[in-house]
Structure 1
Amino acid sequence: MEVPDPTGVADPGFRRVLLVGTGALSVAFLPFWTNWLNNTFPEMEKRVVLTRSARRFVSADAISTLCGNRVVTDDWNDAEPGTAPHVELAAWPDLVLVHPATMHFLSRYALGLTDTPLLCALQSTTALVGVAPSLPPRAQLSPVVQAHLDTLRARPGVVVAPTVPAVSASTGEREDGGSVPLSELMGLCVGAYARTQRGEEE
C-alpha cells in the first residue's frame, strides 16, 4: 500500500526521529510505518523504542532490520551496565513519534511519571513529541482520560493527534478511538515545527 506524504515538503526539518511503539494492537503495523519513513524521508536517521507490552504484537528483529539500528526495550533492566538510556533517549532525537500511544502510556506521560527510560527522557527532552492515542472502546467518555489528553495538548513541544473511528478487535464494533496513520501524525508535527520556526523568525 502506497501512502502519500501529507507534509507536502521535501525537507520536514527533522534529522533524527525516535519512533515509539506501545502495547496497542495496531503496533503490529510498525514495520510498515518504519518502511514508510525510510522511503519518504531517506535522509532521516531512525531509532525505535518498544514497550514490553508492544513486543507481544510486533517483531523487534523486523523493525531493527528496517531502521538499521538496534531496537531499544523501554525497561531499566535492559540497559547495559554503566549506561544512562534516559539521557541518550532525551538528547538524541529532534522528533519523537509515539504511535500508537495506549491509554496507560498517555496517563503516565501526562502525570509526569519517570518509571521507564523513555518516560524519563520525555520529561526532559527538547525534541518535539508527537502522540497518536489509541484508546479502548468508550474511553473517550472518561473525564480522567480527557483530562490527561488536555494536559498533554497544553504542554509546550507536544502534539496530540485526534483519534479516528476504527473497528475494535475486542467488540467488533466501529469506535472512535483508533490512532491516526503515522503519516498524518508526521504531518501534524511538521506543521507545528513550521509554525514554531515562523514565530522565531517574526
Structure 2
Amino acid sequence: MLNGKNILLCVTGGIAVYKAVALTSKLTQTGANVKVIMSESAMQFVTPLSFQALSRNDVYIDTFDEKDSKKIAHIDLADWADLILIAPATANIIGKLANGIADDMISTTLLAATSPVWLAPAMNVHMYSHPAVMKNFDTLYQFGYRFVEPSEGYLACGYVGKGRLEEPEKIINHIADFFDGSKKVLKNKKVIVTAGPTREKIDPVRYLTNHSSGKMGYAIAEEAASLGADVRLVSGPVSIDAPAGVQLIKVESAEEMYQAVLSQYDDADIVIKTAAVADYKPKKVYKHKVKKKSGEEYLELERTKDILFELGKRKNKQVLIGFAAETEKLDDYAIGKLEKKNADMIVANNVTAEGAGFGTDTNIVTLYKRNGSIDHLPLMSKHEVAAKILDAANRLLKDEQK
C-alpha cells in the first residue's frame, strides 16, 4: 500500500526520537519515499545522519538552509508529501500548530501543507491530559489534523500511563489503512448524528435551553465521514463549524429535531443521538415579550417528544445509539434507558466528573450494549471517544446484518 508514497516525517524533541529512527527504516522498507525534518531539540537525542542513512535523503533542519537554489525547501516539501507525520509530536509543536506559530522548519512547513497531517503524540501522562494540551488537540482536529493515539505503559520519566509513542509497526499499519480505500469501513453507510442543545421558545426574546456545546456530536460526525459514511448531522444551535464532507441540517426546537431525524430515518444504517434535547417546553408561547411585573411568575411546561423512544419503536435494521448525561446512578439509568428506548447501545457519562461535562474537549464515557457488555473508557479527547463509539457501532451493524 505504501510503495511510491511520499511520507514527510517531522521529528520533534523527546526521548521517543529513537522510535522515529526505527519508523524511518520500516517505512523505507515498505517502498515509501521518506524525507525527514528534525527540530533542534530532536538533534539532542539523535543525529541527522541516522535519518539520512536510513531514508537515503537529505535531512532538513534549518528553514534558511536551502539545499536546492531552484526551490524553497519548506514549500517544496509541503507540496511533495502525500502524508505528513509528526512523530514524536511534543506538547510544544502541538501548541505551535494550534496557534499558527511558524518559528522553525517544521512549523513553517506545516503551515504551508495541504496534504493530510497526522500527529503521534509522546509526552508525560500529566502533560498529555493537561487542559491546554487537550484544547490544542481539539483545535487541530477541527483544522483537519488527525492523531495516532499514544499507548499506555512505562514512560521515560518513570510514570506509568498514557503518553508512549505508538510502536512503529502500528503506525505503519495505520498509514497503510489510510491509503487503502477498502478500509473505509462505513463506506456506503448512512449515519445520522444529532448534536447540540435545543431551544424552546417562551416569547420572541427568551427560550429554555441547556449547556450542550455540540462538540461530542460534531466529533462523531467528522469521524464517521472520515470512515466513508454518508453523514447527516442534525444540529441544534452551536458555535462550531460543521465538519467537511457532512450534510448539516440546522434545527432549533425538539419538535424540529424530531421531524428532521424522522425524515432521514428509514434508510439510515446507524443513528447516534448525542443531542441534549429539552424534555419540556412552555405550554404557551407568547407572541410578544412578557413584561416583568410585581410578584411571582409561573411558567407552565409540557413534555416534548421523546425522540429516542420514538425511533426505538420504529427501528428495523438501524443501529440505534443514545446518550445519557447523568449526575448519579450511572449504571441504573443507562441500563434502564437501553431497555426502555429499545436502543442497541447507550453512551453514558457523569457530567459532574472532571473532564466530562458540557463544553469540555474531553469526555469519560461508559458504553452499555444490549448484549449486557459494559465498556468503561478512560479520560479521552472527544475525538478519541468518537472513534471508539463508531468502532462499536460498526461491530453492532455487522452483527445486525448477519
SS in 2 for 1:180: coil
Contact 2:38 2:106 in 1 (8 A): no
Letter in 2 for 1:184: K
Letter in 2 for 1:59: T
Q: Deviations over 1:77-128 (max 9, x none)?
A: 4345955222112111111111100000111011111222321221231211
Q: Within 5 A, what are the aligned runs for 1:57-96?
A: 57-73=45-61, 75-79=62-66, 84-96=72-84
CA distance in 1, matches of 2:26, 2:105: 26
Contact 1:14 1:95 in 2 (8 A): no
Residue equivalent to 1:19: 9
CA distance in 2, matches of 1:166, 1:103: 19
Q: Deviations over 1:115-144 (max 9, x none)?
A: 223212212312111110112231133111
Residue among 115, 119, 122 paired with 1:134: 122
Contact 2:82 2:116 in 1 (8 A): yes
SS in 2 for 1:154: helix
Q: Deviations over 1:163-199 (max 9, x none)?
A: 21132223x2212111212333343344445346957
Structure 1 residue 46, shift from structure 2 partner: 1.1
Q: Within 5 A, what are the aligned runs for 1:15-164?
A: 15-39=5-29, 41-42=30-31, 44-73=32-61, 75-79=62-66, 84-156=72-144, 158-164=145-151
Provide the aligned C-alpha RMSD in A: 2.5
CA distance 1:105–1:16, change in 2 (3 Å) = same
Contact 2:101 2:107 in 1 (8 A): yes
What is the aligned length?
Answer: 185
Contact 2:39 2:104 in 1 (8 A): no
Residue equivalent to 1:169: 156
* Residue ranges of structure 2 left out of the alignment (5+ in a row): 185-225, 231-402
- Answer with 1 or 2: which has the greater Rg: 2
Identity of aligned residues (%): 23
CA distance in 2, matches of 1:20, 1:48: 6
Q: Deviations over 1:142-163 (max 9, x none)?
A: 111100011112222x211212
CA distance 1:13–1:151, change in 2 (3 Å) = farther
Residue equivalent to 2:326: none
Letter in 2 for 1:24: G
Bigger helix fraction = 1
